[in-house]
Structure 1
């Protein structure tokens, strides 16, 4: 069999590789037709030989599946802890069955970055960072002990300690190799770096020409254990960029514009690839800002091919000379280096003139809702007021006034231009005597220590500090819901009055209730605009025409007075953002945190589960290994919930604060955990008792079965009681009644939360029937043994007259589900729905009650 192997030399070493052009020529195919992202998939298909590469010949009409088995996996701790808990549980089950626990190990390199646990308990002063770290370790002692056990127990696992940086920026600046190499039987091999991560914004690394995307924790576990995922060769939307950004427009403005453009285009389940004359003008940092937000516009990946900007960035971030040369040589040799003369064929195209980008924000609750800077004030028209006294100042707040202004880590802090611009604005504001109003909670959580290093070198961190943008931690803070409480006086007044206070942050997610349960309107913006609006204290302002404050002489200060010239920013970048900075800050990446180093942890191959732990518990997924034979006939299902469109994984999966009176809060109190020690749902993802109680418990979710009550409630049909969803699900399980969820479009959009699937599984949900599914969540449901069914085009629960009070029976013919909904009157509504088994392995996963039991069976030779 022809394998299309070839060789090249780099830095005096001969490397073997799989030559995609040799394969193309052998099949009379022009490889230049393929988008660069698909060339990476083609190389993987040739090298791994798990599926036939022939479908690439008929792309974009190809509808066959190919295998995707990434070279590495990257985890953050909220999603990484439950993944490792599952692996530890598999080891325990093997011990119970008389097997060898050491057979459960990651098959590929896995990096876990502890970055999601720090909370902004304290902000606005020099003590904030150390205070937050101290509280972080106190809250997460059990979790961190478990992770240190995992670090010594599992092979191929590397853990980056807390308070070091966030997963995406460390991936971009340090972990990503772009081209990987290995030695087999004395031969050196080169191939593209590919990755999946348990954070949907793993796409940020696409800026470097590294193909990868976010997956649910369940799919990541499968990749860790050597299971390939299957996908149809994706459609690729080409976005042609022209010209360059005008003065005053930022990469954030561009990313938000792209988000609106591509969400409207409908790129869900597709790759996006950028090309055109405007590409060369975008730095890797600018590309990373755009690529980070791929989940917000729905793309699986958001790819920028390898080019000279890639090599320049790798040199800046202190990658070795030999590695950079290898990347250049391999990419040129294997047709992966961007050639602007090639005419790639795309499934669909869009175009964007960078010169048309204007300063913008997005909100108040969806990242695709673009608002030009000049139009923001118009979004706040009501005159509701709130009197509050903060720091001996009396304020009459209105809707649009700010409780939170956060430069938070994920989207923008890999971008020196944005951070230095924010710092320069702060410096000029301080010089003019401007201050942030006392009611605004300001915070700064950069994505890596490099950021604070260059801000300090530029003399700008002190100015940010004077405005309250002190360092609060190196981690995912406000954007994930770790914003902490508002200023104490604000916390009390806003809660008492249910006042619609606002927030502004530089992240990528602003779904209702996400940033803080008391915040009604949240807007996304660039770090420079965060500083500007914080100074104004409100979003009810047109910064293009109105002053954001007055100087000591009483003269108005406008945004244009503070905004630095691009040349000033570029000069600072050249002076302060250097390879030496990256070398110094990353030299001690794994050892710098002394608190982590001193943490004692258990050892051994099997984890010693503690029955009284409220953080880490042995999950029940492997205790009763059941199997189906084909698709079952399901009867007497009752509706647990009926939802409208755009139900996100934030709505489904437990996230953020744990309420004292919620089922999860009541459980913790019953375990003698005080409300002050609840921590967050994210930190307790290793305990299924907490997580299943928090599933579908979002305070803003609206179940149409209980239109009179917002939040995680449902109607328990046998008695017509309105109960918390967990309590009703428990009653149904006692009755032996299976459950169904009815939903609208884009069910499961948003972050790739594994507990959005695990939680509904444990609640007893057998089927979800929706108008459409987001890609990751659909896959996660199947991998947990929950059936995803899709209404046929033009139909939904409302058009079919389904109230949710019916009893449901479902049978199957191939990929078609036949549903009968029977009302209490005996009236039957019959309809068909599509079974969303999209890959060849979906049926196998379902028949084994999920992918994790399947893998365990294989490891124990029980398959």
Structure 2
């Protein structure tokens, strides 16, 4: 029986001075279901509107609406319901493989006798190219131009694919390179807060919602826009009209009280929030900010907090629409027509926050007094490890005590006095005084400097986390100005870079007169993109790289980013610290982490007088005065006027032959047709039990998607490097794993290939190593997996807590699948990676509470059997695992099936979400 649309009679009209729109009144639910909506969290109201507007259209039901309307903290039925976002946001590292998959799906549809055009985005999508630019050239005014040229030289094939997609797919737009970081472009331009869209010949208004293929998509939550990061697999399904299925949400309220002290930044705030929420435990939950002190946060401050949702594990971090939202929309040049619609719609729907709004109810409340904030960084390996400035040196030595302690002990309690003899000879000729004992002298151009444990070799103002925030960017410029005026300079061993989130940033730095001072300290523009934060740091200067390598120095990167996982930023920077942009400049001046910036001199002026950080730190008043003088709405309108046009490089790209099907180039090492859909049948093969399985990797806690599928440089002697060399690609042109995600041959070889991966089956070696069993031969993970496939042996991965934390990297699941891994057994999962594993047909299993691989005495050398899969899986059930030891004895333990909903059961039954969607598209009328 057909379901009648709008079962609650919620459809109504809203008139503004500019237009009349249709919308679906939330009040209609309150009237009919007899519930009060005033104290519902903002997050729930947005999800409720989505269910209400779609009710009566499969698979949305009236029951979805009433269940959400009756949401109460801890007193509700947990059930599955659909959510269809209004749009999809992609970046190029994850967007290119998504386009490759869509192109491959068109080929599969044709092979199955269907119309390839059925594979087309039904939900609008924007792709922003921001992850590919690398910092090859720095410290020069030509850096930006040279890096862009090199970017196009490396990525022409990938960009040509995206230009084909622009023409081949409807509802698909591309923001070309050199424009900005995806999340800042979204915040400053793409996000509408309230969308007005033509649907069935009428204009319908509804909250702007989205999913994005970058885990930092929640940055836009600061505008009141509900959105979060998903893997490319889920995003592709949404593009094809498939809703996301959610369980009834848990919402954590974060109350802010007090006022922040002078001298702290939004970065100090977000690092404190990250530490607090990681301790609280918010993985898979929604966070919502409220309280009297929300008014102290500018919208860019809010964006800094929301951006780091994945670092503390939340699905999204919402700030309701309020006057600050409207101010920011005007500030960034949005039309008055849009601002008026946002205000009227939000107030009409009870989505507008005021100081006297009723306080929402939450599942849990966390509180932070802003007056307790202090200048901080986070590191050296995880974003939640906040460290006050006074303890940075201590944290470094504690984290690397084995290396640093042994080095100092050999030097009699100080740093090593073993110099590079050749450099020491040159030093006498160019230095006015011998360098102090305790370091490794390095000659850079005509200067000799020392490198030591704790030396800063990378100082990067980068990533959407901070470069969206004018306060910290202006603060960095003002600090640079004061430092130059005091005669300070950056240590020449430091690789400096400035990669703003959008062209607006460089425009207002120019207007404020701060660009010359940043350039005087070698913070020249290197590109508009993620650069260092995604691992595109480029090489260190050769003398620095050689000294670090030869003396095994623990050197550091300091960046204004959001990720500092092992091996991510640069292979030679074992330590990485997240810091605000002004602190990045400060550490570049100091050149070392072996300093307490809260009390030690940062340097000395030409008269030999000490200069302290407090002497050059700009006041809040200076920062605000500069912002008011330098930033206007016209700047945003001008810079975004031709956002989809691209520069001469983009316009000069050769356009592939246009058509419904992509012409795959068999010689390409960037874009290859993946194997996922090549043998697809209309009916899926039923899942089978796992017997005779071996463990490919036995891993510990906090294994990130960077460990599983690195995005950075490709080593020459790795399986991926050898593949590229065999295909006539020279090491200079390897590019990065992230840029090669359109080629499954590279990516499967790069799975579990992080240089800092610690596999307990690797005989003590770091990197992409494992032991093939039962032969006991140590080899690369890829080579072992291929041998297992030849032998017909299914594979497992054993892991600890927080498995798959970090980026929403679909290749961490795709590569796992292509290696032949049937199941992962972990102590716990991060939300996105668990979903991605199911989306690729890999079974996520979880040790029961209190149990672990180590606690059960597993060595990873056993043979495993998992029964009960063939009988049909149910959400939350347990399965028996039988392990046979090397001596032939056996034992059994239970694991929890982390397929959490009936829809995920279907995904797994089909071998993944995309095969299921593809089959439905082919067979539907």
Q: Write the deviation string for residues 811-845 of structure 1: whole angstroms up to 9, x where unpaired.
A: 12742211111112221120111111112211111
Whether 1:21 aligns to 2:27 is: yes
Q: Does 1:151 align with 2:166?
A: yes
Q: Which moved more, 1:848-857 or 1:148-157?
A: 848-857
Maintained 8 Å contact 1:133/1:163: yes
Equivalent position to 2:711, from 628, 650, 655: 655
Quote the Cα distance in structure 2 between the aligned partners of 1:412 and 1:475.
13
Determine the structure 1 residue equivalent to 2:472: 418
Q: State the partner residue of 1:609.
A: 664
Q: Match for residue 54 of structure 1? A: 66
1:753 aligns with 2:766: no
CA distances 1:4-41 after superposition (whole Å, capped 9, x unpaired): 22322222533221112220232221112210011000
Deviations 1:181-209 (A, max 9, x none): 12344433210000100000001000000
Q: How far has the Cα of 1:709 moved from its partner?
A: 1.2
Query: 2:711, 2:645 → 1: CA distance?
Result: 30
1:373 matched to which residue of 2?
389
CA contact (8 A) 2:839 2:912 kept: yes
Q: Distance in 1 between matches of 2:740 and 2:479?
A: 39
* 2:517 aligned residue (463, 481, 491): 463
Of 124, 138, 156, which residue of structure 1 is paired with 2:139? 124
The structural deviation recorded for 1:457 is 0.2
Q: Is 1:303 aligned to residue 318 of structure 2?
A: yes
Cα distance per residue 1:381-440 (max 9 Å; x no partner) = 544443322223233322111000000132100111101110011111111111101100
Q: Secondary structure at the match of 2:817?
A: helix
Correspondence 1:251 to 2:266: yes
**The residue matched to 1:548 in structure 2 has which SS?**
strand
Aligned to 1:733: 789
Contact 2:763 2:778 in 1 (8 A): no
The reply to whether residue 840 of structure 1 matches residue 902 of structure 2 is yes
1:257-272 to 2 correspondences below 5 Å: 257-272=272-287
Distance 1:137 1:320 in 2: 34
Q: Which residue of 1 is the match for residue 893 of structure 2?
A: 831
Q: By how many angstroms is 1:92 displaced?
A: 1.5
Unaligned 5+ runs, structure 1: none
Give the conservation status (yes or no) of the 8 Å contact 2:763–2:771.
no
Deviations 1:843-862 (A, max 9, x none): 11111111111122122218
Structure 2: distance between partners of 1:380 and 1:720: 37
Moved more, 2-11 or 27-36: 2-11
Q: Would you say the 8 A contact 1:654–1:691 is kept in 2? A: no
Q: Is structure 2 residue 48 aligned with structure 1 residue 42?
A: yes
Whether contact under 8 Å (2:26, 2:349) holds in the other structure is yes
Q: Does 207-216 or 496-505 show the bigger shift? A: 496-505
Distance 1:823 1:93, change over 3 A: same
What TM-score does the superposition give when structure 1 sets the normalisation length? 0.98
Q: Secondary structure at the match of 2:601?
A: coil
Partner of 2:553: 499
Listed as ranges, the matches of 1:74-93 within 5 Å are 74-93=89-108
Q: CA deviation at 1:58?
A: 4.1
Alignment of 1:779-798 (within 5 A): 779-798=835-854
Counterparts of residues 579-594 of structure 1 (less than 5 Å) = 579-594=633-648
Q: For 2:208 and 2:372, locate their aligned partners in 1 and report how far apart those are by CA, in whole Å.
A: 34
Change in Cα spacing, 1:748 to 1:633, as seen in structure 2 (3 Å) is same
Give the Cα separation in 2 of the matches to 1:161 and 1:771: 41
CA distance in structure 1 between the aligned counterparts of 2:453 and 2:492, rounded to whole angstroms:
17
Measured after TM superposition, the shift of residue 630 of structure 1 is: 5.5
In the alignment, which residue of structure 1 is the partner of 2:739?
683
Establish whether residue 665 from structure 1 lines up as the match of residue 721 from structure 2: yes
What secondary structure, in the 3-state scheme, does the structure 2 residue paired with 1:621 have? coil
CA distance in 2, matches of 1:592, 1:12: 32
Worse overlay, 443-452 or 87-96: 87-96
8 Å CA contact 2:40–2:71 kept in 1: the answer is no
Q: Which residue of 1 aligns with 2:184?
A: 169
Matched residue, 1:773: 829
Q: Which residue of 1 aligns with 2:676?
A: 621
Q: 1:68 aligned to 2:90? A: no
Instruction: Give SS of 2:537's match.
Output: coil
Aligned partner of residue 844 in structure 2, secondary structure: strand
Q: Residues 441-472 of structure 1, C-alpha deviation per residue, up to 9 Å, x if partnerless? A: 00000000000000000000110001000000
| Distance in 2 (alpha carbons) for counterparts of 1:783 and 1:596 | 34
Give the 5 Å matches for 1:291-690. Answer: 291-340=306-355, 341-381=357-397, 382=404, 383=408, 384=415, 385-602=439-656, 603-625=658-680, 631-690=687-746
Change (3 A) 1:686 1:719: same
Secondary structure at the aligned position of 1:222 is classed as: helix
Give the structure 2 partner of residue 819 of structure 1. 881
Match of 1:703?
A: 759
State the Cα deviation string for residues 457-512 of structure 1 (Å, max 9, x = none).
Answer: 00001100010000000001000000001112101211222211111000000001
User: Within 5 Å, which residues of 2 pair with 1:95-114?
Assistant: 95-114=110-129
* Whole-angstrom CA distance in 1 between matches of 2:886 and 2:580: 54
Write out per-residue CA displacement over residues 742-766 of structure 1, whole angstroms, 9 at most, x where no aligned residue.
Answer: 1111110000000000000000000
Secondary structure class of the residue paired with 2:132: coil
Unpaired runs of at least 5, structure 2: 1-6, 398-403, 409-414, 416-438
* Aligned equivalents of 1:104, 1:672: Cα separation in 2: 34
Secondary structure, aligned partner of 2:745: helix
**Cα RMSD for the two superposed structures:** 1.4
User: Does 853-862 or 492-501 show the bigger shift?
Assistant: 853-862
Matched-pair contact (CA < 8 Å) for 2:568–2:710: no
Distance 1:29 1:453 in 2: 50
Aligned to 2:216, the other structure's residue is in SS state helix
Q: Distance in 2 between matches of 1:475 and 1:788?
A: 34
- What is the rounded CA distance, in whole Å, between the counterparts of 1:471 and 1:596 in structure 2? 20
Q: Higher mean Cα deviation, 851-860 or 96-105?
A: 96-105
Tell me: CA distance 1:55–1:436, structure 2 relative to 1, closer, same or farther (3 Å). same
Paired with 2:549 and 2:746, the residues of 1 have a C-alpha distance of 25
**Count of aligned residue pairs for this structure pair:** 863
What residue number does 1:32 align with?
38
SS of the residue corresponding to residue 252 of structure 2 reads: strand
Q: 1:225 is matched with which residue?
A: 240
Deviation at 1:629, TM superposition (A): 6.1
Q: Distance in 2 between matches of 1:322 and 1:497?
A: 62
Deviation at 1:172, TM superposition (A): 0.1
1:503-538 deviation digits (Å, cap 9, x = unpaired): 100000000111000001100000000111111111
Q: Contact 1:800 / 1:829 at 8 angstroms: preserved in 2?
A: no
Tell me the CA shift for residue 45 of structure 1. 0.8
**C-alpha separation between the residues in 2 aligned to 1:439 and 1:216?**
38
CA–CA separation in structure 2 for the residues paired with 1:789 and 1:599: 46
Task: For residue 574 of structure 2, give the secondary structure of its aligned residue in structure 1.
Answer: strand
For 1:853, the equivalent position in structure 2 comes to 915
